[in-house]
């Protein structure tokens, strides 16, 4: 066996420390200093198992058990469990409450992980189309149509799912209405909050959600991978079903899920997250400012207007024009931003870009806006 081990000797990363990172999937996952301190304590394998009596969710040192109760309060649902992330939460729900072959009704903006969770659970997926370009809004009434249609065909519906904030346009959808429709029709309703819980206030009961999945690394300032699943009491029996041979072990959790460092960062960051959610309006203000400024130079915001979430998708014909004459082609934008200490915009892409200034200071937001304007002005 010949393995060159040198490549593992200095694994480094320059994002965050040296660069302003505009990648939307990463802006909500940056650790505050409190969480970094906890990392030193819990980086070893199985570090949360020192005082375990057989169940991760019942560990009280560190306070995982209390944290799960606090999280249930935070999202206003009854019971919570740690997961490896939003997708694993969706899979747990689909796999435990649906039957093979059931239909899951999802929004047309659903994340790919919703589809693969359903495929892994051997379910069928039907989408509720958005209203398309340029807003891509989901009309809750269309859920009713799709459900009626499936019922007319005698199909078995196992779950209604809505992406609270989608990963393409950052639209905040009307969960309450979709939840109401699901409830009236008698189907369980899962709200995918990977992009919302930890950023903005989310009240599960008010939104008529039976299940909420959240993403620690995406929106709760935690190290990846980890997440949370919260749900209403009435689903506990199915979701928390225990092993026949090992009655303490929950089958869908395979006993224990997030058995290590990430969940510790999730807990250590929780006070920070609870605070920042209260300042959500300010984040939306920053986002709208960016949109206003960059539309002045020819960018066009896609999705619902005005923005209600930090993820921005722009059509950028002006960048595309420049790319046609620049010898670096589509890469000019990435490279020019890099020179200015800005990263996280997809390399080589100029027709459409995604970005977020979530959690940046106003000073940094200004800097980013001016840098982008500068690149466009000097190159067009």
151 binds, among its own copies, ligand PLP, none (CB under 5 to 8 A by kind): none
Angle between helices 33-42 and 261-278 (to 10 degrees): 170
Q: Is 72 annotated as a binding residue?
A: no
- Determine, following the binding rule CB under 6 A, whether residue 166 of this chain makes contact with ligand PLP: yes
Of residues 295-324, those binding its own copies (CB under 8 A): none
Q: Is 209 annotated as a binding residue?
A: no
Cα separations (Å) of 108 from 8, 129, 137, 242, 265?
Answer: 41, 5, 9, 35, 33
Among 67, 111, 104, 61, smallest CA distance to 85 is for 111
Q: In angstroms, rounded to a whole number, what is the distance separating the alpha carbons of residues 298 and 15?
A: 28
244 binds, among its own copies, ligand PLP, none (CB under 5 to 8 A by kind): its own copies
- DSSP per-residue letters across 96-114: HHS-TT-EEEEETT--HHH
Contact segment (CB under 6 A) with ligand PLP among 74-82, 84-92, 134-142, 146-154 equals: 84-92
Residue 75 and residue 203 in contact, taking contact as beta carbons nearer than 8 Å: yes
The b-or-e profile of 65-82 (16+ CB within 10 A means b, else e) is: eebbeebbebbbbbbbbb
Report the nearest approach of its own copies to the CB of residue 83 (Å): 10
Report the nearest approach of its own copies to the CB of residue 148 (Å): 24
Contact segment (CB under 8 A) with its own copies among 24-32, 150-158, 280-288, 358-366 equals: 24-32
CA torsion angle 68 73 79 82 (round to 10): -30
| Other C-beta atoms lying within 10 Å of the C-beta of residue 14 | 9
- Determine, following the binding rule CB under 6 A, whether residue 26 of this chain makes contact with ligand PLP: no
Binder among 140, 167, 204, 260 for its own copies (CB under 8 A) = 260
Q: In angstroms, rounded to a whole number, what is the distance separating the alpha carbons of residues 375 and 82?
A: 44
- Determine, following the binding rule CB under 8 A, whether residue 113 of this chain makes contact with its own copies: yes
- DSSP per-residue letters across 141-170: HHHHHHHHHHHHTTPPEEEEEEESB-TTT-
Residue 324 and residue 311 in contact, taking contact as beta carbons nearer than 8 Å: no
74 binds, among ligand PLP, its own copies, none (CB under 5 to 8 A by kind): its own copies
Among 166, 110, 163, 114, smallest CA distance to 302 is for 166
Among 267, 192, 276, 272, smallest CA distance to 226 is for 267
249 binds, among ligand PLP, its own copies, none (CB under 5 to 8 A by kind): its own copies
- Determine, following the binding rule CB under 8 A, whether residue 195 of this chain makes contact with its own copies: no
Beta carbon nearer to its own copies, 140 or 344: 344
Residue 302 and residue 356 in contact, taking contact as beta carbons nearer than 8 Å: no
Binder among 26, 113, 223, 287 for ligand PLP (CB under 6 A) = 113
- Determine, following the binding rule CB under 8 A, whether residue 364 of this chain makes contact with its own copies: no
Q: Would you give the binding string for its own copies spanning residues 210-249, x where CB under 8 A is met?
A: -----xxxx-xxxxxxx----------------xxxx--x
Binder among 87, 95, 177, 199 for ligand PLP (CB under 6 A) = 87
80 binds, among its own copies, ligand PLP, none (CB under 5 to 8 A by kind): none
Q: In angstroms, rounded to a whole number, what is the distance separating the alpha carbons of residues 217 and 198?
A: 10
31 binds, among ligand PLP, its own copies, none (CB under 5 to 8 A by kind): its own copies
- Determine, following the binding rule CB under 6 A, whether residue 218 of this chain makes contact with ligand PLP: yes
State the binding site for pyridoxal 5'-phosphate: 86-87, 192, 215-217
Binding interface with ligand PLP (CB under 6 A): 25, 85-87, 111, 113, 163, 166-167, 192, 194-195, 215, 218, 227, 259
């Amino acid at each position: 066996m010949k393995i060159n081990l040198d490549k593992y000797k200095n694994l480094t990363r320059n994002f965050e420390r040296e660069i302003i990172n505009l990648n939307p999937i990463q802006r909500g996952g940056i650790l505050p200093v409190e969480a970094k301190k906890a990392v030193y304590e819990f980086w070893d394998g199985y570090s949360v198992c020192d005082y375990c009596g057989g169940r991760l969710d019942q560990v009280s040192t560190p306070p995982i058990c209390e944290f799960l109760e606090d999280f249930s309060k935070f999202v206003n649902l009854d019971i919570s469990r740690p997961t490896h992330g939003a997708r694993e939460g969706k899979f747990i729900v689909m796999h435990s409450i649906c039957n093979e072959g059931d239909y899951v009704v999802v929004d047309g903006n659903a994340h790919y992980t919703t589809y693969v969770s359903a495929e892994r659970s051997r379910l069928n997926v039907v989408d509720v189309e958005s209203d398309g370009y340029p807003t891509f809004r989901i009309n809750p009434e269309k859920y009713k149509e799709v459900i009626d249609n499936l019922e007319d065909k005698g199909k078995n519906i196992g779950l209604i799912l809505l992406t609270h904030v989608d990963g393409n346009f950052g639209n905040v959808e009307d969960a309450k209405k979709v939840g109401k429709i699901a409830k009236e029709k008698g189907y369980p309703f899962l709200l995918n909050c990977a992009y919302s819980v930890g950023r903005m206030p989310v009240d599960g009961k008010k939104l008529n959600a039976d299940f909420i999945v959240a993403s620690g690394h995406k929106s709760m300032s935690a190290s990846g991978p980890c997440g949370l699943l919260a749900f209403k009491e009435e689903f506990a029996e199915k979701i928390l079903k225990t092993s026949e041979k090992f009655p303490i072990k929950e089958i869908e959790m395979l006993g224990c899920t997030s058995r290590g460092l990430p969940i510790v960062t999730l807990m250590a960051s929780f006070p920070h997250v609870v605070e920042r959610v209260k300042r959500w309006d300010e984040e939306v203000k920053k986002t709208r400012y960016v949109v206003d400024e960059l539309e002045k130079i020819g960018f066009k915001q896609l999705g619902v207007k005005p923005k209600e979430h930090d993820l921005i998708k722009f059509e950028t014909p002006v960048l595309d024009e420049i790319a046609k004459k620049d010898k670096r082609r589509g890469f000019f934008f990435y490279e020019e931003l890099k020179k200015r200490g800005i990263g996280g915009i997809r390399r080589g892409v100029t027709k459409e870009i995604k970005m977020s200034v979530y959690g940046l200071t106003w000073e940094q937001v200004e800097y980013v806006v001016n840098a982008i304007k500068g690149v466009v002005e000097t190159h067009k």
